[in-house]
Structure 1
Amino acid sequence: MPEKPSSAGYRSLLRLKMPRRLALACVPADFSDWLDYAAVVALLVYGWGQGPVMLAVFALALSLPYVIVGPLLAVLVDRAPLRGVLFATNLGRALATFAFAFTGDTWVLLGLVFVRGCIDSAFTPARQATIQATTPTELLGHAQGLHQAINQTSKIAGPAIGGALLAFWPAQSVFLFNGALSLFAAIIILGVSVPERVATSSTTQTFAMRSMAGFAEFRRSRRLRIALIFSASAYFSFFLYDALIALLAEGFGFDATAFGLSISASGLGGLLGALLAGRIAGNHPMRSMSLAAVTSGLATGIIAITAMLGLAIQLPAFLLALGFMGGATAFMLVPYRTIVQAEAPPDRIARVFASGEAVIVTTMLSAPLIGSAIATRWGTPSAFFTGGVLLILLGGATLIANRRPAQS
């Protein structure tokens, strides 16, 4: 059974030995991901002179494992001891990252990126299963907020640190450093003790049937289903305009330095939003997600209309708006994961989480292309306006749907 807290809150969560060790292990694990990202892009573009096509293939190599491999590996994650899975996946990520340093071929490197992504597609559901197994129910929201904050901090600082290291080291040396980070995470994982899970699913099912159990949970639970549809739709809305922030900043007359600050502002907003969502979104997660979508949509729409009308905006106001949008994004993600933790049976939590990730990533993949087409045809602000309107409609529709009597 999970340890009992003395009182609710992040301090209560971090007083518990196993949640604290898991969070500590996830710091080097998450930082390794984002340091790798910066190093691979630098090697492809500046080292090997690759262009947009190979960068697109790189994006696919990062994303596709969660769609086509994650739900399959999650079957094994749900059956194996979680500490062993966490250790093996961090060790595997370390070995794959070390291999990055010893290849001089673009396609081999991208193949290794895909392999590392496949390993990561098992680590992420195993982390969620471990959170569920070691965290008291009343602190699940705080646990999700803490882990999202770790990931968001890594997303902000990882590329910056990677860029700084690349000023002194070749990309291959950064890969070796990143591999060492994953090894360090694996060593910390050895100190995590996870209670055994009681299996409730039939052992006579075929592998294919077991791999579909995660999707079946979304059909069984109306609450899970609404949360997944919401999250997939929200991510689609974000990614209509996420890659166009530089063009929007340029349209307002801001330079490259201001663009860098805007990314930092969005990341900082996401970090603060994750911690705040962990505190207050656990009691009413669907309502929190819906209201966050409406407010984020309004902020996005206001920025878009300002640009459409050719109005000037001061840089601090622009940064504040992007920070608010980043915080609202976290306010949608943390409650979704809290709902999955609360609804999914312990013996299939990894499959439920991996199945949801597969649906979300599949939905996301088409959004940048559609957003680019909208921006090309009607201008960059139109993509932001479209995404903002979709978020407002999504939040309103989810509020209405959530008022109906729950049915399984």
Structure 2
Amino acid sequence: MTSDAAAPSYKALLGLKPARRLALASVPADFSDWLDYAAVIALVVFAWGEGPYVMALLALALSLPYVVVGPFLAVIVDHAPIRTVLVISNLGRGLATLAFAFVDQTFVLLALVFLRGCIDSAFTPARQAAIQATTPEALRGHANGLHQAINQTSKIAGPAIGGLLLAVWQPQQVFLFNAVLSGVAMLLAATVIVPTRPVSDAPKGKFLTESLKGIAEFRRSTKLLIALIFSSCAYFAFFLYDALIALLADGFGFDATVFGFSIAASGFGGLIGALVAGRVAERRPILTMSLAAMVSGTTTALLASAALLGWPVQVAAFLLVLGFMGGATAFMLVPYRTIVQREAPPDRIARVFATGEAVIVGSMLSAPLIGSVIASQWGTPAAFLAGGVMLVLLGVVTLASVLRP
């Protein structure tokens, strides 16, 4: 770089028209996801009065598409024009959301939630492919930080806006509004100019063989494999305690209001963390992930130890710790995506990303159940302690593998 103006920065990233338009298209796309989530929960729990069994099925309907469908749809994503996939997937998500508004049976709604997740399992790898194709390598860390920040903002504001809308609208009306948001995302995605990807010289095989080429890339690249194993273990550790934050807050004597603030603090920490991680992820991504795991795990373990020992924790300190934990999570996610975009060939990136998503989500599925067993046997703080210790060990082992001569 010859000048500060040419140095990698968010300003330089947003100065690129394709990157700017892709980020702009991501705003309504991500907001519609979280508004949908809030409206589906409101409809199933408060309007239809469903209980834990249906909520468990809903969690599966939200998660399984990325495990059982995403890796296969990624074959199509890798061979189709990226902009076309972005447009069609936003259209499909909008139509699925529109269908939510006309459903009056729980299992039909769950089937549509699964269908929307299948469509989204094509949209997410396509967006990663678009970032790779439209962003210079030096700015990809910033691009991933920006898109993660958009997602975190949606995660904070989406349910809040959804709650306000649900105060005056029925869930079905929120679904109609979300369908319009997906339409806006589709129109914005249509304006993104994505360079044509290079055509692979490798002969095309059968569909199943093509879908397995994402796995082959993890075998080829040690850095990709380390990043995937790290991310799978990290998310497993997170989800050991993620669903138990309300119980931990209650154990410290905090009420529902503080719990609500703690979720907001975690989201805000994730937002700040994503923007900062975007600045450093490109240089030493695996080192960044390792140090973040060690810091996050230590913080989580200390909070859990305070709860186990009965030490008092002030509200401000509790919120600060939750925000810090949320920020550290972003320091693990942003570098992972940066590594995928750096290591995966352009003609296979969707399959590589979808394969990684399938492994990560698959590893997450059992974590809440295991965390609840730990909590029921030894108390809620024990689940946080187990997750924190696992993160520290993960960071140490990963760091050792990187520093090994």
Common topology (TM > 0.5): yes
Show the counterpart of 1:175. Answer: 175
Matches within 5 A, 1:8-407: 8-200=8-200, 202-404=202-404
Deviations 1:128-158 (A, max 9, x none): 0000000000000000000000001000110
Deviations 1:297-326 (A, max 9, x none): 000000000000011110000000000000
Deviations 1:162-214 (A, max 9, x none): 01100000000000000000000000111111111112253331111110000
Letter in 2 for 1:333: L
SS in 1 for 2:258: helix
Instruction: Check conservation: 1:296, 1:388, Cα contact below 8 A.
Output: yes
CA distance in 2, matches of 1:147, 1:200: 28
CA distance in 2, matches of 1:282, 1:58: 36
Letter in 2 for 1:38: A
SS in 1 for 2:254: coil
**What TM-score results when the alignment is normalised by the length of structure 2?**
0.98
CA distance in 1, matches of 2:14, 2:204: 40
Percentage of matched positions with identical amino acids: 68
- Give unpaired runs (5+ residues) of structure 1: none
- Give unpaired runs (5+ residues) of structure 2: none
Instruction: Check conservation: 1:236, 1:363, Cα contact below 8 A.
Output: yes
CA distance in 2, matches of 1:202, 1:361: 30
CA distance in 2, matches of 1:7, 1:361: 35
Instruction: Check conservation: 2:145, 2:278, Cα contact below 8 A.
Output: yes
Deviations 1:341-383 (A, max 9, x none): 0000000000000000000000000000000000000000000
Letter in 2 for 1:307: A
CA distance in 2, matches of 1:200, 1:101: 43
Instruction: Check conservation: 1:201, 1:347, Cα contact below 8 A.
Output: no
CA distance in 2, matches of 1:199, 1:282: 26
Task: Report deviation, 1:282.
Answer: 1.4
CA distance in 1, matches of 2:289, 2:335: 7
Task: Report deviation, 1:403.
Answer: 2.0
CA distance in 2, matches of 1:197, 1:21: 19
Letter in 2 for 1:277: A
CA distance in 2, matches of 1:9, 1:367: 37
Instruction: Check conservation: 1:281, 1:288, Cα contact below 8 A.
Output: yes
**What TM-score results when the alignment is normalised by the length of structure 1?**
0.97
Deviations 1:251-289 (A, max 9, x none): 000000000000000000000000000011210000000
SS in 1 for 2:347: helix
Show the counterpart of 2:6. Answer: 6
Letter in 1 for 2:38: A
SS in 2 for 1:340: helix
Deviations 1:61-93 (A, max 9, x none): 000000000000000000000000000000000
Instruction: Check conservation: 2:204, 2:210, Cα contact below 8 A.
Output: no
Task: Report deviation, 1:385.
Answer: 0.3
SS in 1 for 2:300: helix
Deviations 1:29-58 (A, max 9, x none): 000000000000000011111001101101
SS in 2 for 1:345: coil
Instruction: Check conservation: 1:27, 1:150, Cα contact below 8 A.
Output: yes
Deviations 1:229-262 (A, max 9, x none): 0000000000000000000000000000000000
Letter in 2 for 1:205: G
Pairs aligned (count) = 401
Task: Report deviation, 1:13.
Answer: 0.2
Instruction: Check conservation: 1:95, 1:179, Cα contact below 8 A.
Output: yes
